[in-house]
Structure formats: structure tokens, C-alpha cells
A and B are shown apart, each in its own frame.
Chain A
Amino acid sequence: MQTLRMNAGLLSSFLEALKAFGTLVAPVERSPGVFALEAIDDVSQARPEALRTILPFKKLLLKPRFVMLERRQGQYGADGADNDLGPVVYFGAHSCDIHALRILDLLYLSDYVDPYYKRNRDRLTVVGYGCMPDGKCFCQSMDTSTIDKDFDMFLTPLDGRYLVTVNSARGDDIVRANQHLFQPATRRDVQEYLERLKEREKAFTLSLDVTDLPYVLELKKDDPVWEELGKKCLCCGSCSMVCPTCACFNVRDECPEEDSAQRVRTWDACLYREYALVAGGHNFRASRADRVKNRYYHKQEAFVREFGMPSCVGCGRCIENCPTGINVVEVFQYVRGEA
């Protein structure tokens, strides 16, 4: 790890320089207060301080819909070039986003490696950006509010300058190609950075008590709270679509033209009615209560058992996007009998 500084006025030169390493993707403001992750050419559009983009970066690794396999005029193809997004530089990743990336890596790069994910992942450059939480952020509770690995560079805004952390050989390549933008960090820079961290830790207003949460869930598996939640949840799936760690998918075969066939992979959500439906009409999770419960158990119990940590990074996207105002933090307070 290497710590540098960059003057605030050099940000656009830095972003221009990043373009040499891949398609530059950053949050942009679509309409007032609404941000989306998009490939940008005009670097002045980048809004790295935006707390959450509607869709998270997972769309840069696996498109919402892509062809996995295809046959055309009798020729069998299996390369899935459809999901090949080329080298991408993701600017404006927050700590929670990078933790979410690690969670996706755990899922997609363990056991049978997912080649469609891996191809894009191997060529993804992550440039993080220090954020300030709002009332929907609870990453502090999820232990994801700071990050010390799995990114290439990280910019933390200080007064008139950035503290720049270089954390990979690729980050080092970027620095070496653009020496003129950086200077060694001074003791004052580091001191100010540490003060900012402290200030940030104090800025959190939302918190989730995760003490023994998997065990609490186990004890509460038959609790009526799930029925009540099922009455409120529309099973629209928005919370899954916007979640940076939700990664379920469906596979369907299609025949777009005569003598051609495709196996298509699309984002899916365990909240949809057909998710656990099998031939003959049996549905393993027929009620909405079962489905919404499954989402919470998967994130806070199953993933913990399997990988040693929950698959929620506290980004607040699901809170922001639920049409009926379901809030994960409140749900768990309720489950514990505290609300």
C-alpha cells in the first residue's frame, strides 16, 4: 500500500488519464438527487460523492440479461461474448460497494468459477471514493464502513486535495503513468485524513444490532412477524434488483430466428412468485411471507453460515427503493421484539 496526495483541481486530469485503462464508469446525476452508474466521456459529469446509484456496480460484471450460449446456422458457440464488457474503470466506489464486490467474488469465484463473471472481473479497475453517510446508511453496523483491500486506488476528499491510497499493482501502473498528478502525502494530510475518518464514524445515524443475528433468526423462524411482513411486501423484487450483493439469476432458452437458439441468463429475485416453482405446479415458496423471509434469512443467516459474514453491506438501497416502505433495520428490530 502506498499513500499519496493529489490536488483537488487535478481530478479531471486524473479521470481523463483513467480512460487509458478502460471504459470509465462513474455515478452521474440523472435527475436531481437521482444517480446512475454510467459510462462517461465527459469527465465533469462524474459525481463520486453520490451515496447510492440506483443500480449498483453488479451490472458492470453481469448484465441484467445476456446470452450465455448460442447456436447459429448449426454452429455451436459457448463464449458468451454478449457479456464481455471489456476493461472497465469504476470510479466512485464506496467502501460498502467494494465489500459487496468481495461478496460477489466469494459466490462467483469459489467452487465452479463463473467464467462470464470472471472475464469482466479480471479487467475491472476499482477506484474508490470516500463518502459521508446519510440517514439510510448502516454500513458501520455491518462492519463494511472501511475497506483495506480489493480496490486499486482510493481517493478520500480532504480540504482542497485528496488522500490517494494505492492498493494494487494496477493502481501503481496508473500512478506511474501519471506521476505529475501525485505527490507524497504529508503528515498533515494523514492527520486530516484520520480526523475525517473519526468525523465520518460519528456521522452515522442508522444502526442495526447484528449481535447473534443468525441465531436470533433461527429462534424466530416460525414467528408471526414473517406473516405480517408478507402482508406488507408486494414481492416486486425492487430490493433485490438494487442490492449490490443480490445475484440470483434465471436461465431460459430462446429461439430468436429459425435455425438459431440461445441460452439466456437474466437477473432474478427470490421474491418473485415463480422463483421456486417446479414442473407440475408445486411451489416451494408459494406465500409472500415465505419469500420475503427467505431474502432476509439468506442474507443474514445462510450467507453467514457459508462464508462467515452476512451478504448485506448496509448500503441502504433497499430502504430507498421499497415502494411500501419496508426497512431492513426496522424489520430486524421487529424480529427481535424491540419495535
Chain B
Amino acid sequence: MSVSLPEQLPARSAPRKLATGVNPYAPAQARIMRVQDLTSEIRLFDLRFTDAALAESFNFRPGQFVELSVLGVGEGPFSLPSSPTRRGMFQLGIRRAGTLTNYLFDHVIEGDFVGIRGPLGNGFPVELFEGQDVLLVAGGLGMVPLRGLLHYLIDQRDRFGRVMLLYGTRTPDQVLFREELESLARRGDAEILLSVDNAQGKPWGGRVGVVTELLDQVSFDVTNTYAIACGPPVFYKFMLEKLVARGFGRHRIFLSLERRMECGIGKCGHCAVGYTFTCLHGPVFSYWDAINLPELIYT
């Protein structure tokens, strides 16, 4: 199977339009088809656009995100943990964090409608990964955008070399998509290593320790591998330099930045990091580009 993705246009070029409407601030209506708790704090929502044509045509790059809103409550950016190889439906993995997310947990049920704007941001440069080995490293909620990329790679398995995933969380019950990942590993579609900081006495077949240590358990050919890292600031702080220490060129490492966002389309200014707007030039940056931003990525 092979899908074509929306082109990665350079920022500040030709006028463009969002799939969800001509007015980039006005969301398209989508229906919550299924709700599933991934952990006590993180919930997976399956969504489908009410407009049938939009539902079928909605295409995005792994690593892009959408703005989800409930008018009267608020709006926020969320990564897409689903893959454009699977059309019709898309998913969001949402953590309880504040006004909007609390509302989604406490008041939104299957069958309800929400607003969606997108897809937004640049996404991962997946074209580069073709014929190469791909190493995904995730920390905590960073698994959400990487799961979309993982599905994308697996669904077109023959276009890529080895697919490896190193994923760390604090405790075993915080591992997102655990059964699915275990099944992928059993099938041999991906090499998957999991770690937790603390097993808390629960049955745990993975490693106990910080996620960076998983890097020592795999060998790879750094001239033929891209590393994609996604996690909280402290994860980046240790993981990125460790990848460099293992021989990765900084242009072979990609990461996704998180910043305060309001508009998602490069207008409101909130997501600025140094000279870039995270929502428009990012959220995906090569490590080389990120490290050269005047405002450091860890802060």
C-alpha cells in the first residue's frame, strides 16, 4: 500500500487553505465515534468529520496536529496518533490538563460533536525515511504523535528498513497502546523495547530504568538511520545528546516541540521560539535546527 501525503510547503509562501474550511479559524464539525481510556489520565477519542466528503478526503502528514474545540469552552492543539494510511476516521489521545481537556473528560461522550481545524504544522519528513532504518524514541505522552508515525511506517512496511521503537514511561500502567505495541513486536513488524522508571511491583517484562538506557540495548547503523524523538522537555534534555553521542548526525535526529498555541496558523505569535513559529515551521524540527534556535528547546 502507498499513500500520497499533503506536500510540505515552505512557510510564508503561497496562500493556502486548511482542509477544514476557508476560514482557518472556523472549525469543521466532527463526531466522537468512540472513547477509550488509555490510562486514568489519558483518553483516546476516535473522530469522524460530519461532512462525508471531508471525512474521506482528510489527509495529513504523521506529526501534524489539529486544533480541537468546543465553542464556549475552549480550543487546544492535539497531535494525531492515527495514520493517514487509514482514512475515514482519525484519533486524538488527550491528557487531562485544564479547562478544555477536563470538559472533554467530564462532559463529552460517544456521539457528541466537537470542532476540528487542521491539519496544522509541518509533520515528519517521512519521504527522507524511505529505504532507511527508522528509530523512534518516545517518552510519556510523546508516544501519541509517534504512534501515528509508527502506523504509517508499518502500513507501508516494505518502503522502510528496520523500524525500532524505544519507549519509556514512569510506571507500567502509563504505557500507552501497550497491547498493540506488544502485538506489533510479536508479529516482527517493529523492534520494540519498553522501559519504566518504576515497576511498582506490577508484572513487567520490559526494562526498569530511564528511557535513555534503552539506547544501549540496540545497535544500529547511524549512516542509514533516522532518529525521531518525542517527549517532555526533560526527556529531550538527555535523549538528544545521547543520540549524538551514539553517532547520529544532528540532521538525522528529528523532534517535535510543544509550545503555547492559540491560532495554529502562524498569526497569533504565542508559539514563537526564537525565529520560528512552532505551529507553522514546526512542530517538527531537526535537532540541528532546534539547537540553533535562540531560545533553547529545553526551557
Interface of A toward B, CB cutoff 8 Å = 68-71, 76, 78, 106-116, 217-218, 221, 247-255, 261-263, 268, 270, 275-280, 284-285, 290, 294, 297-298, 301-302, 305-307
Decide: B75 and A279 in contact? CB cutoff 8 A.
Answer: no
- Which of A107, A252, A276 touches B260 (beta carbons < 8 Å)? A276
Decide: B263 and A251 in contact? CB cutoff 8 A.
Answer: yes
Binds A, one of B19-27, B166-174, B245-253: B19-27
What chain A residues lie within 8 Å of B24 (beta carbons)?
112-115
Q: Mark B283-299, 1 if CB is under 8 A from A, else 0.
A: 00000000000110001
What chain B residues lie within 8 Å of A247 (beta carbons)?
267, 269
Decide: A115 and B23 in contact? CB cutoff 8 A.
Answer: yes
Complex CA distance for A231 and B74, rounded to whole angstroms: 34
Decide: B26 and A69 in contact? CB cutoff 8 A.
Answer: yes
Complex CA distance for A276 and B274, rounded to whole angstroms: 13
Given contacts A112-B24, A247-B269, A284-B299, A275 and B75 within 8 Å (CB-CB): no
Decide: B71 and A248 in contact? CB cutoff 8 A.
Answer: no
Most chain B CB neighbours (cut-off 10 Å) among A112, A247, A268, A279: A112
A-B contact pairs, 24 of them (CB 8 A): A69-B71, A70-B71, A71-B72, A108-B267, A109-B15, A111-B11, A111-B265, A113-B15, A114-B24, A114-B267, A115-B23, A249-B262, A250-B268, A251-B263, A261-B72, A275-B270, A276-B260, A276-B270, A284-B273, A284-B299, A285-B295, A301-B275, A302-B276, A306-B275
What chain B residues lie within 8 Å of A302 (beta carbons)?
272, 274-276
Q: Mark B5-34, 1 if CB is under 8 A from A, else 0.
A: 000000111011110001111100000000
Interface of B toward A, CB cutoff 8 Å = 11-13, 15-18, 22-26, 69-76, 97-98, 101, 258-260, 262-263, 265-270, 272-276, 280, 294-295, 299
Complex CA distance for A276 and B257, rounded to whole angstroms: 13
Nearest neighbor of A76 in chain B, beta-carbon distance: B71
Decide: B18 and A298 in contact? CB cutoff 8 A.
Answer: no
Q: Which secondary structure characterizes the binding site on chain B?
A: loop
Decide: B269 and A268 in contact? CB cutoff 8 A.
Answer: yes
Q: Smallest CB–CB gap between A58 and chain B, Å?
A: 13
Complex CA distance for A255 and B70, rounded to whole angstroms: 12
Complex CA distance for A251 and B73, rounded to whole angstroms: 11
- Which of B26, B97, B299 touches A78 (beta carbons < 8 Å)? B26
Complex CA distance for A217 and B293, rounded to whole angstroms: 12
Complex CA distance for A153 and B177, rounded to whole angstroms: 63
Complex CA distance for A263 and B98, rounded to whole angstroms: 18
Complex CA distance for A68 and B263, rounded to whole angstroms: 12
Complex CA distance for A251 and B270, rounded to whole angstroms: 11
Closest 9 CB pairs of A and B: A261-B72, A248-B269, A279-B97, A302-B275, A112-B24, A279-B98, A78-B26, A112-B265, A261-B71
What chain A residues lie within 8 Å of B17 (beta carbons)?
112
Decide: B75 and A263 in contact? CB cutoff 8 A.
Answer: yes
Complex CA distance for A275 and B71, rounded to whole angstroms: 22
Complex CA distance for A68 and B272, rounded to whole angstroms: 22
